[in-house]
Homo-oligomer: A and B are copies of this chain.
Amino acid sequence: MELSKRQEAIMEIVKKEGPITGEQIAERLSLTRATLRPDMAILTMSGLLEARPRVGYYFSGKTPGSVLAEKLHNIKVGEIKSVPVVVPEQCSVYDAVVTMFIEDVGTLIVVREGGLLEGVISRKDLLKTTLGGQDIHKLPVGVVMTRMPNVITVEPDDSVWLAAKRLITHEVDALPVVRPVRDDAGSLEVVGRLSKTNIARLFVELGEGGG
């Protein structure tokens, strides 16, 4: 949403002097209230200004950018997550690499019985291991994976924004999407996978048709 010059002038006035009445704003701009009405309606209905009877207009603290931000916060992990690709802890590093190529993913999720989260293993972890000179046919992934409780996770109702923030902050490529297990404190059921690829794909979708 692009603001007109006049709308920007109104925003400036309200930021400086708000709460301020419509009449006072009209006065500052040497315009009639009627002329301003559509602009005031746009600014309040888009959430940039708020209006309260007998108080006047004041700045909501939102910017056109934060209106976009709200949209990003409203999309949930559950809406865009991928199917998790899982292996058991006893799986060999060699088999893990093969699984990664077959499934074409960059991160495997390691689970115990019941699909409960034990750890994660990334392409980077596996590359480091293959260089180590150990017998990767015998080495179980449990030895080289990142183990609970050090795994960064996300829940289906978390926002995609929060997931992206965790991916960036913790410098990982993917997060297991989990649900706490009732009556089993600390256990997390794996219900999906959210990677940087999901974020990039969402980015593309949000931009479709706007070229």
Task: Give A contacts to B, CB under 8 Å.
Answer: 1-2, 4, 37-39, 41-42, 45-47, 62-63, 65-73, 94, 97, 100-101, 104, 106, 123-124, 126-128, 130-131, 159-161, 164-165, 167-168, 171, 173, 196-197, 199-204, 206-211
Interface pairs A-B: 5 shortest CB-CB: A69-B210, A38-B41, A196-B196, A72-B207, A161-B207
Q: A70-B210, A124-B123 are in contact. Are A46 and B200 (CB under 8 A)?
A: no
Complex: chain B residue closest to A46, CB-CB: B1
A70-B64 Cα distance, complex, nearest whole Å:
13
A128 cross-chain contacts in B, Cβ below 8 A:
101
Q: A38-B38, A41-B42, A130-B127 are in contact. Are A68 and B210 (CB under 8 A)?
A: yes
Q: A38-B38, A127-B127, A204-B161 are in contact. Are A68 and B71 (CB under 8 A)?
A: yes
A173 cross-chain contacts in B, Cβ below 8 A:
106, 196
From DSSP, what is the main secondary structure of chain A's interface residues? helix
Q: A42-B42, A204-B168 are in contact. Are A66 and B210 (CB under 8 A)?
A: yes
A165 cross-chain contacts in B, Cβ below 8 A:
204, 207
A47 cross-chain contacts in B, Cβ below 8 A:
1-2
A131 cross-chain contacts in B, Cβ below 8 A:
94, 97, 130
